[in-house]
Structure 1
C-alpha cells in the first residue's frame, strides 16, 4: 500500500497578472474519457489500488465539493495549514508516500513508474530546453544565485537538477544557482523518509512568511527535503502525459494533447529492462516486447512463459547431446529461443503487473539450470560423437566452465548483498532560512574534492568513459551476461564443436570474472 496525499489548492500565478481564479478539479469534466469523469474523480479511480482512502487537503470553500467523493478531506485555510495537514497525514505512515496535485491529469503508467522507482525519493520535473545556437554560459562556479523568473508550463523555473537528482530548489525568497528545471508536482518517497517529510513540512509551515503565492506546497517540500540532505531523484515525463489544469479551456486542450500519446506503447517499452546487455538489447528486446504483449493479452502468466523457456532449454540440451551437426545447429536455435522466452517472462510480468515470489525464484534459479543443462548436453554430445575419444577432456572443460560461472554468480550475489548494507554517503545539509544555495553548493564541491583522488578518481574516469557508446557496450559485453553466454553457446556450437564452445566460455568467462572482481574490489575500497 501507499499513503496518498492530494493537494487541492493550486498555487497563485507567477508575475503581476492575477488571471482567472482556478476552477476546482471537482468541477472540471473530462467528456472524451469513458464515463465522463471529473479530473478529481478520475485521479481517485487511478489511485484506488494504491490507497482506497487518500487524504485531500483543500480550502474550506472547496471542501464540500471534495467530500462528494470517497476520500478523506482535511480543510486548510492557507499554505501553512496545507503543510501541517500533510505532516499529520504522513508522520505515522508505515507505507511509502505519494503526493499529487488534485488537479493533475496524467497517465496511469506515469503513476506506476513513479511509485515503482527504486530511488528513496523522486520528483517529476520539466527541464529547460537549451537553445543550441545560444552561447555557452560561464562555468557554474562563476554564476550567482538568483530568484528564478522563468516559467515552464505555469511553474517557476527555480530548481537545479543534475546527475539524476535535485541539487537545489528555490522559492520567492531563496535563490538558486543557475536553475534549469521546474517541479511539476508529483513526489514519491519511500517509508524511511516519511518522518523527515513530516518534520520538514512543520518547519516550513513556520516560515510561510518567506514564500510567495506562486510557491507550491510540493515545491516547498522538495526544497526542504534537499536542504535536509535527502537525495531526491528526478524523472521527466518522457513519452507519457502530465498536466495541471486550472480551467475548462486548459482541460479541453489537455485532453486533445493526451489523445496523441500512446500510453500502451510506453507501458510496453517500460516492460523492457533499460540496462540489458548488447545481445539482449539488439537481438532480442527489439521484438520480444511484442511477444510479451501478445502473451499477456491472451492470459499467459509469467510463470507459464518461464516453464516454456525451461522446456525449450531442456530441448536444446537434448539436441546438443545427439553429438551431430544437425543437433548442434538445432540446439543453438533452441537455446536462443529459450533465452527469448526468458526475457519475455519478465516483460509479461512488468507489462501485466503480475509479480510474485515464485516467479522471481523460478526465473533466477532456472536460468542457471538451463545453462548448466546445456553444458551437460554438450559434454554428452562430444562423448557420443566419438570425435574426442572418451570425451574425458571435454567433461573437464565443462566442469571448469560450470565452476567459473558459479564463482562469478557468487561474486555478484555476495557483493550485491554487502553493498545493500553499506550506508550511503550523506549529502550536505543547509538551514531552511539560508537565503541562497551557495553554502550547499560549496559543501557539495568540497565533498566532491574529498572523493577526487585514488580509487574514486579511477572509478569516476571509468564512469565518464561510459558516456561513449562503444565503451558503454564494450563494458556491457565484457562482463559476459547471460545473453552473451547463450549467444556464444548457440553460435560457437553451431559452427564448431563443444570443445571450442567450452574454451570460449572459459576464456571469456575468465576475463569477465577478473574484470568483475577488480571492479568489486575497487568499489569496496571507495
Structure 2
C-alpha cells in the first residue's frame, strides 16, 4: 500500500476550490471526487490537509495557515511505514501517470515542467550544466502554469529550490504537484516540514506547498528525481472554466497508447527494440483484453521453445528453418508476457519466477536440440561446443545475478546538504561542483566518459549489442541455425558470449572500484 496525502491548501492565492464539476465525465464528478476514486487503489482512506473541510471526502485535517499545513504534513507522514504519494486536491491527472509515478524505482520523484528556451515555441530544455560563476542566485518571479519558477532541475533530479525568501541559481522549472517518496524519506520529510513551519513567516503568498516540501528535501540531501508529463496529462485547476479547458485537452491525449508504450521496457536491446517490440505490444494488448494472464503467455513461450528444440533435433534443413521461426516467436511471447503484466497490472511472484527460470530453460533445451540434430544430420558431435556455450552463458547469468545483488546493497553516494535558513543556494551549488569534480577523476571519470558517449546513437546501440542480451542470443541462434550447420551456431554463441562476458566483467570490476 501507499500512504496518500492530498493537499487542499496552498499558501498562494490559488487555493484548491471544491465543487468544480467535470460535466463530460460519467456521473459528473467533482475534480476532488475523481481524484479520490483514482487514488483508492493506492490508499482507500487518504488524508486531506485543507483550510476548509467542505467538499472533501474521507479523513480531513483542517488547518488555519501555512505553518499548520506544514505541521499537518509532518504528522501525516512521520511514522509512515509505507511509501508516500503527495498531490494537490485540484489535480486533473491521467490514471496512467499516477501509476507511473507511484511505481517509480527512485527514492523520491517529482513531476515537473521546464521553462521553454527564450524566443522558442518548443519546450526544449535549457542545458543542465551551468557553471556556478555564470549566474547569481535570484528570487524567481517568472510564472509557469500558475506557479512561480523557483526550482533548478537537471536531467535527472532537482538541483535546487527557492522560495520568496530563498534564492536559487538560474531557476528553470516548476514542481507541478505529484510527489512520490519512499518510506525511508518519511522521517526526513516530517523533520523538514516542522522546521519550515517555524519559519513560515519567511515564505510568500506565491510559494507553493509542494515546492516548499521539495525545497526542504533537497536541502537535506535527498535526491529528488524528475520526470515530465511526456505523453500524459496533468494540470491543476482553480476554476470551472480551467477545468473545462483542461478536460478537453486531456481528452485529446490517447491514454491507452501511453499505457501500451509504457508496457514495453525502455532499456531493451537492439533486436528486441526494432524487431519485436514494434508489434509485440499489440499482441500484449490483444491478449490482455481477452483475459489471458502473463503466466499463460509464458507457457505458450515455453511450448514454442520446446517445439523449436524438437524441430532442431530432426537434423533436417526444414526442421532447422522451422526451429528458427519457432525460437523467434518463443522470444516474442517471452516479451509479450511481461508486456501483458505491465499493461494489465497483473504481477506475481510465480510469474516473475517462471519468466526468469524458463528463459534459461528455453535457451538450454534449444542448445540440446541443436546438438542432437547435428549428430542426426551427420555434421558430427558438437556436444563439447554446446557444453562450452552453455557454460559461458551460465557464468554470465551468475555474474549478472551476483552483481545485481551486491549493487543493491551499495549505499548511494550522499548529496551535499544546506541549512534551511541559508538565503542563497550558492554554497550548495559549490558543493555540487566540488562533488562533480571529484567524481570525474580516475576510474569514475572513465566510466563517466563512457556513459556520456552513449548519447551518440551508434555507440548506444553498440553497447546494447556487445553484452549479447537474450534478444540478440535468440536472433543469433535462429539466423545461424536456419542457414548454417549447428557448429556455426555454437561457435557464434561461444565467441560472442565470451566477448560479452569479458566486457561485462571489466565494467563491473571498474564500477566496484569506483
Is the TM-score greater than 0.5?
A: yes
1:12 offset after TM fit, Å? 2.0
**1:427 and 2:420 correspond:** no
Question: 1:8 corresponds to which residue?
Answer: 8
Q: Equivalents in 2 of 1:475, 1:155: separation in Å?
A: 41
1:75 counterpart (57, 62, 77): 62
Q: Distance in 2 between matches of 1:138 and 1:270?
A: 32
Q: What is aligned with 1:144?
A: 136
Q: Secondary structure at the match of 1:98?
A: strand
| Partner secondary structure for residue 230 of structure 1 | coil
CA contact (8 A) 1:22 1:247 kept: no
Mapped pair 1:161 → 2:153 = yes
What SS does the corresponding residue of 2:401 show, helix, strand or coil? helix
CA contact (8 A) 2:379 2:485 kept: no
Aligned to 2:348: 356
Aligned partners of 1:106, 1:48: CA distance in 2, in Å?
14
Residues of 2 paired with 1:22 and 1:195: CA distance? Answer: 27
The aligned runs of 1:66-105 (5 Å cut-off) are 66=56, 69=57, 71-105=58-92
The alignment status of 1:472 with 2:464, answered yes or no, reads: no
Alignment match, 1:42: 34
Q: 1:409 & 1:65 partners in 2: Cα distance?
A: 55
Match of 2:503 in 1: 515
Gaps of 5+ in 1: 14-20
Task: Name the CA distance, whole Å, in 2 between partners of 1:337 and 1:269.
Answer: 20
Over residues 44-71 of structure 1, what are the superposed CA-to-partner deviations in whole Å (9 max), with x where a residue is unaligned?
A: 0001111111000111xx21332xx2x1
Residue aligned with 1:65, SS: coil
2:55 is paired with a residue whose SS is helix
Q: 1:382: how far off?
A: 0.2
Deviation string 1:204-243 (CA, Å, 9 cap, x unpaired) is 1011111101111111000000000000000101110101
In structure 2, how many angstroms separate the alpha carbons of the residues matched to 1:452 and 1:434? 28
Matched, 1:190 2:178: no
Question: What secondary structure is seen at the aligned counterpart in 2 of 1:273?
Answer: coil
Extract unaligned runs of 5+ from structure 2. Answer: none
Pick the aligned partner of 2:102 from 106, 115, 125.
115
Q: Which residue of 2 aligns with 1:463?
A: 451
Which whole-Å CA distance do the structure 2 matches of 1:452 and 1:288 have between them? 40
Moved more, 208-217 or 107-116: 208-217
Residues 393-431 of structure 1, C-alpha deviations (whole Å, 9 max, x = no match): x10000000000000011111011001111111100000
On the 8 A contact 2:11/2:204 being kept in 1, the answer is no
Q: Contact 2:132–2:429 at 8 Å: present in 1 too? A: no
- 1:143–1:177 contact (8 Å) kept in structure 2: yes
Alignment of 1:23-422 (within 5 A): 24=17, 26-59=18-51, 62-66=52-56, 69=57, 71-131=58-118, 139-388=131-380, 391=381, 394-422=382-410
State how far apart, in whole Å, the 1-side matches of 2:11 and 2:204 are.
9
Aligned equivalents of 1:375, 1:499: Cα separation in 2: 11
Corresponding residue number in structure 2 for 1:16: none
Q: Distance in 2 between matches of 1:361 and 1:203?
A: 46
SS of the equivalent of 2:363 reads helix
Contact 1:166 1:233 in 2 (8 A): yes
Of residues 431, 454, 457, the one that matches 1:443 is 431
Return the alpha-carbon distance in structure 1 between the equivalents of residues 221 and 120 of structure 2: 36
Q: 1:352 to 1:138 in 2, by over 3 A?
A: closer
Offset at residue 22 of structure 1 (A): 5.4
Contact 1:320/1:374 (8 A) holds in 2? yes
- Report the more deviating stretch, 155-164 or 475-484: 155-164
Contact kept? 1:492, 1:500, Cα under 8 Å:
yes
Match of 2:483 in 1: 495
Alpha-carbon RMSD across the aligned residues, in angstroms, is: 1.4
